[in-house]
Amino acid sequence: MNGKADVVIEASGAPETLNLAASILKRSGKLVIFGRHVIDEKIPLEKWHTFGFKVFNISPSSSRNFNRTSMMQSSY
């Protein structure tokens, strides 16, 4: 074991968390991006490619119920 994670879920959307998440990911690991990043960030794509990271961008808006759920929550 090399002390790295097989899967890292980034859910905060805070600046620099993508780089932090990638730094604790093992080679060929899975990076799941759930946080909403509203500021463009510089990420080391060469490293991500070389290490074989599998990146999944999980946007809540991809759910077919997202708009309905959002409207229901905003009415409270």
What is the C-alpha separation between 28 and 53, in angstroms, rounded? 5
Please report which confidence band the pLDDT of residue 66 belongs to, taking 50, 70 and 90 as the band edges.
low
What is the C-alpha separation between 42 and 50, in angstroms, rounded? 17
What is the C-alpha separation between 9 and 16, in angstroms, rounded? 14
H helices within 13-54, ranges in order? 17-23, 45-50
Whether the predicted pLDDT of 4 surpasses 50: yes
Ordered by start, the domain boundaries in the chain are: 5-74
Please report which confidence band the pLDDT of residue 71 belongs to, taking 50, 70 and 90 as the band edges.
very low
Specify the fold of 5-74. Answer: Rossmann fold (3.40.50)
- pLDDT at res. 61: 66
Q: What is the pLDDT of residues 5-61, one digit of tens each?
A: 999 999 999 989 999 999 999 999 999 998 888 888 898 999 999 999 999 988 766
Residues 6+ apart with CB under 8 A from 8: 21, 22, 24, 25, 29, 30, 31, 32
